[in-house]
Amino acid sequence: MRIRNTSSPTGLWVRILTLTGALLFTQACVKGEAGDDDESAAKADSTKTDSTKVKKDDKKKKKVDEGVPVKVMEVALGEISDYVQHTSTIEAEAAIDVYAQATGLVSEVIVEEGDHVIVGQILAKLIDDELRLGADEARVNYQKLASKFKRAEGLYERNLMSREDFEQQKFTVEESRIRWDRSKLSLDHASVRAPVAGVISERAVKLGDRISPSNKLFSLVDLKSLIAQVHVPGRDMRFILKGQSAEVTTDFLPGETFKGHVERISPVVDPGSGTFKVTLELKDDSSRLRPGMFITAHIVTATHETAVLVPKKAIVYDDGFPHVFVVNDSTATRVRLDIGFEDSENLEILDGTKQGDRIVIVGQNGLKDQAKIRVIDGPGLRIPAKPDSTELEEKAS
């Protein structure tokens, strides 16, 4: 059976055109929707950018308004001294070398370096057998002659002995007593004793040494009597007086200060160096200073009891001149200072600031004159402070 195609060419073209138009219409609709989405996204991004910029601007403005964080203190009155500074080494006022007073072999060394000794304490002993026998012999001889003289006294009282014989026996007894005393003294010298109280600083003898009175056995120092001799230029002679106080520091004991005073002043200037010798007596209740320590001595020459004081940590230097930042409300004003005395911590202010002024003591290194500040109380602000935030924000913009 045959099927006949009844479709005409015209109808086929109509159907093709219809399908093509529908397809084009669909693509146009899709593009339109996509365009709307892109525009919406762009608007959203634009809004977000504007919001971020506003927040940054607000933050920037807030930071500028708050100012630089600093710490402040109030200027007060206090005592400050002027001084002459010199270096020296500590010495013991009583430093003694101990020698033997007898000749012989050392049988015992009793003390060592660093030991504390008292007056008369035995430091070492010599072999004393022969000396001990000699002392015993002298004792027995004296006792024998003394007994004989006692009998002679009875005879002399009864006129049975001449005066000449009696006096001869008396002298003989006295001589034997002296020989006994000398032998006891020689025996005692076999024990080497400390002439003063102090500390053994050196031991120069050992067991078995043969020694004589020319041999040094020990060195002894008295740590309770320490001095330091400083050589002051002649031009400063008029400032130094006996009894003036002094402060002493040493790198061996960092952070500690010891007291002293001027004990002696030499009236003679050394023509070679142009200096005169000043002896300081040091006070050390803690017994921590030692002879030989290198020290720095500050001899106080004058004292101002009610001076305007500013701590050195608050000072900033500009062109070599000292300045501080004085706080007025939320503004820091840079002020040049005229200074007087100074010590390790403070400066005396003659002009520039006064008692009661509030000055910046932490954070001043990054400040400019008339900078806005924010006072911080308590711990937490580092030294040195960061640069002025006002200046940083101006550069960033």
Q: Choose among 202, 227, 225, 200: nearest CA to 295.
A: 227
pLDDT of residue 160: 83
pLDDT of residue 7: 43
- Give me the tens of pLDDT residue by residue for the chain, a chain 397 residues long: 333 444 444 455 545 555 555 555 555 444 444 444 544 444 445 444 455 554 555 555 444 456 888 899 999 999 998 888 899 999 998 889 999 988 899 999 999 999 999 999 999 999 988 888 888 988 999 999 888 888 888 888 888 888 888 888 889 999 999 999 999 988 898 999 999 889 999 999 999 999 999 899 999 998 888 999 999 998 888 889 999 999 999 999 998 999 999 999 998 999 999 999 999 999 988 888 999 999 999 999 888 888 999 999 999 998 889 999 999 888 999 999 999 988 878 999 999 899 999 999 988 887 888 889 888 876 655 544 444 444 444 445 4
Architecture of the domain spanning 128-189: Orthogonal Bundle (1.10)
Domain 68-78+305-396, CATH 2.40.420.20 — does that match? yes
Ramachandran bin of 198, using left for φ above 0, alpha for ψ from -120 to 50, beta for the remaining angles: left
Mode of pairing for the β-strands spanning 104-109 and 122-126 = antiparallel
Domain 84-92+225-304, CATH 1.20.272.10 — does that match? no
Mode of pairing for the β-strands spanning 371-375 and 68-74 = parallel
Half-sphere exposure of 87 (CA within 13 A, CB side): 5
Give, in order, the Cα–Cα distances in Å from 78 to each of 74, 246, 290, 349, 355.
Answer: 13, 19, 33, 11, 10
Ramachandran bin of 68, using left for φ above 0, alpha for ψ from -120 to 50, beta for the remaining angles: beta
C-alpha–C-alpha distance, residues 178 and 186, integer Å: 12
C-alpha–C-alpha distance, residues 219 and 217, integer Å: 7
pLDDT of residue 47: 47
In this prediction the pTM is: 0.55
Give, in order, the Cα–Cα distances in Å from 10 to each of 6, 15, 17, 20, 292.
Answer: 12, 9, 11, 16, 128
Domain 98-126+193-224, CATH 1.10.260.40 — does that match? no
Domain boundaries, the chain: 68-78+305-396, 84-92+225-304, 98-126+193-224, 128-189
84-92+225-304 and 128-189, same CATH topology: no
Are 184 and 165 in contact by the 8 Å Cβ rule? The answer is: no
pLDDT of residue 10: 47
Are 325 and 339 in contact by the 8 Å Cβ rule? The answer is: no
Q: CA dihedral in degrees (163, 169, 171, 175; nearest 10)? A: 180
Are 97 and 219 in contact by the 8 Å Cβ rule? The answer is: yes
C-alpha–C-alpha distance, residues 299 and 244, integer Å: 7
C-alpha–C-alpha distance, residues 230 and 250, integer Å: 15
pLDDT of residue 89: 95
C-alpha–C-alpha distance, residues 363 and 30, integer Å: 64
C-alpha–C-alpha distance, residues 106 and 24, integer Å: 129
C-alpha–C-alpha distance, residues 251 and 246, integer Å: 17
Q: Choose among 234, 244, 254, 348: nearest CA to 296.
A: 254
pLDDT of residue 342: 85
Give, in order, the Cα–Cα distances in Å from 184 to each of 115, 179, 193, 212.
Answer: 28, 9, 15, 18
Per-residue b/e over 225-242, b at no fewer than 16 CB within 10 Å?
A: ebbbbbebeeeeeeebee
Residue 243 burial by Cβ neighbours in a 10 Å radius (0-12, 13-18, 19+)? exposed
Amino acid at 379: P
